[in-house]
Structure 1
Amino acid sequence: MRAGTGAPPATSGSGSVAAEVHTRVRRRWDAAAETRRDTLDAVSAHDIDADVPAAVGRALEVILQGRLDDAAAVDGTFAQDIAARAARFTLEGGKRIRSQFLWWGLRACAGGRDPGQTETALHLAAGLELVQTCALVHDDVMDGSPLRRGRDAVHVDVQTQYGTPTAGGPGEPFGAAAAILVGDLALSWADDVLASVDLDDAKARQVRALWQSMRTEMVAGQYLDLQGQAIGSRSIIRSIRTASLKGALYSVERPLAFGAALAGADETATRALRSAGRCAGIAFQLRDDLIGAFGDPAETGKPSGDDIRDGKGTYLLAVATARAEATADRELLTLLNACVGRADLADADVRRVREAFVTTGARAIVEDKILRLIRTANRHLGAGAFVPHADRRLRELFHRVAGLSAAGDPAAPSAPRGPRAEGRSR
């Protein structure tokens, strides 16, 4: 399962930005690479419990070192422009939320005691992080988002390397095409990681089936999101369906199911984890909706009001529209129809849409639904006889991704703790 040896590829003359990108990745490794690899093999469950993101980060360093070696053997320019960016994006930033759900799902089902199982879990978690790289890089291209984690999005970064973007905006053809390749490469690496894990036949079939479903669901959710923007959808039912596919399954339920599968959990425990994960995952996406509308750019690393300008068919927007229709408030309906989905929408108009979300009661309804979903998720967890300390950590994670305090209070809008703070900056 070791994913390659040697140092990252040397830089060559394909531009100072490419060299800088590659150097930043290269610094991740030092002369003790083999010692670190041996440490990864021998890491204990107790060590991972103490800091899951750090443990997954170490696994990614080993895996990506090998992938960069392979890329350099193919072509130096490709290694610097594409492979190094995929590696850097994956290594830098983030809370590793999906990895944490996988790990604590495993631990909740009394898994992680065998060193081989522990290493397998870390590698599979690393694979999830690479899938997330693909999803985020492609998402930025599709949305034309100029920023990610407070820095240039990948397509903007590539375009800038080869020439300042023109008035056409951040989605210049070359930068966008290169970013698509960065995402494609990350997804290919993720599949390589899955193929490398050592599982018995029964578990291998189960894990691969989950992986295949997750990838398809992720694409389906993204397409529904895009198509909803194109047709101006305001459907409550559709918004929840999109939230389930785009957020709940991919971000929470499937990672928990991977953990249960690796632990060899029985049907009752697996069902309890998946049901809890579905509820918590929808809450995760609904919090994302709120932060997409009300979030502080200093916290999110994204422009304020992005989802309003993009015309995202969120549950928040669907509820606001339904409430305005129910009260025959033509002024509010006119405002929503005129402003939502306008890429050039002025900040003042963004504020007016936000006010509409509040005055219709939509924001309060979404907050209440998030709280009820997390309570339901916790009840589902109670149906399984899970290891106490892992059960507790899962409940804490549910609250965190939903933007709730441990007591279940909504997070303050100025300090978002949902997926845009957890995810967009990761």
Structure 2
Amino acid sequence: MTDFSMSPEVSSLVEKTREFTRSTVLPVEDFHRGDIAAAGGDELREKLQAAARDAGVFGPHVPLEYGGHGLNMVERAPVFEEGGYSLFGPVALNIAAPDEGNVHMLDHIANKEQKERFLAPLARGEMRSAFAMTEPAPGAGSDPSALTTRADKVPGGWKINGHKYFITGAEGAGFFIIFARTAGVPGDRGGATMFITPSVVAGLTVGRHIETPDKSMIGGHCEVFFDDLFVPDSGVLGEVDQGFRYVQVRLGPARMTHVMRWLGAARRAHDIAVERVAHREAFGGKLGGLGMIQQMVADNEIDIAATRALLIRACWALDQGEHAGDETSIAKTFGAEAVFRIVDRSIQMCGGLGVSGDLPLARLAQEVRGFRIYDGASEVHRWAIARRAIGAAQKVGASS
């Protein structure tokens, strides 16, 4: 039987993160109504991260050699969930997207020089980063093989041309990881390469912020343009033409850390609603005594428990070095939809107050809605899950 119990060290970090998030971070989020730009952007990030270091909770995922706690995926889950209890918590702990995923990927793929130049300052919170993969139609989106951004070999390096879209954290990022086609044509499953480059270089332009309902991701979701951007050979991340293989190192774990963080936000919504219905008098008694309310409370509890269980199973598979395609797709799809259900029920239980600015529930709903699209839409994950199941059945039939 697999043992998922936490070590004393992880249990202590969970408790310290819970205390820090609720006492230090939540008041800032509530004062600024969850808008990270209005709260000060990078200036606020630096202050919160300094406080997190003082509290001993900074960088739970960061490798030990860079001053973090070096937690594996299973160990990260309860810590990230507590950090996600506040929308600003991930920024404070340096576990926000896309930086957290980039730390994970660079630790596994980058060479020594790239780690010293990019990973070390990112892990310490001295800069932010961006991961430039998504493109406007007809380019790469839910189908990454549609990749159109192109990198052509030139003496000493590569020239990159293309247009990226919805690039989280692009404004103010210290460096970019760029996904570009180096072989083949759009639609081919191979032929992509990852490049890493400082942000302040000729040929790289951050365009407009694309307006989205969520407001807590620092640096916005931006358009980015590459116009003969030169990246030297030393900027190739991993091997040429192996980008689709390398990106899997990032995507599965990053999807799971999204589940962790937003499960924390959903738990906050649930806690607020349960506190409300436990004491609100209506219809001759407490709201919590009504069967319809009790069903919503129970359904929230079930969704929280089920999301955690699927999440831990997927994280365990990743920690074992497995590809975990099914496990991560299942946990991501169920978690994204469950998180939204939890917040939506919590709003319903609080009635008019739930949709007002007097509670954070409405802004939480705006934040978590995008998760059913971010990191792969639910429909795409369902298609992948079904395709693998049917493919496995066909192989069994062919061999019998």
Larger strand percent:
2
Which structure would you say has the larger RCO, counting Cα contacts within 8 Å and 6 or more residues apart?
A: 1
Same fold flag (TM > 0.5):
no
The TM-score, its normalising length taken from structure 1, stands at: 0.27
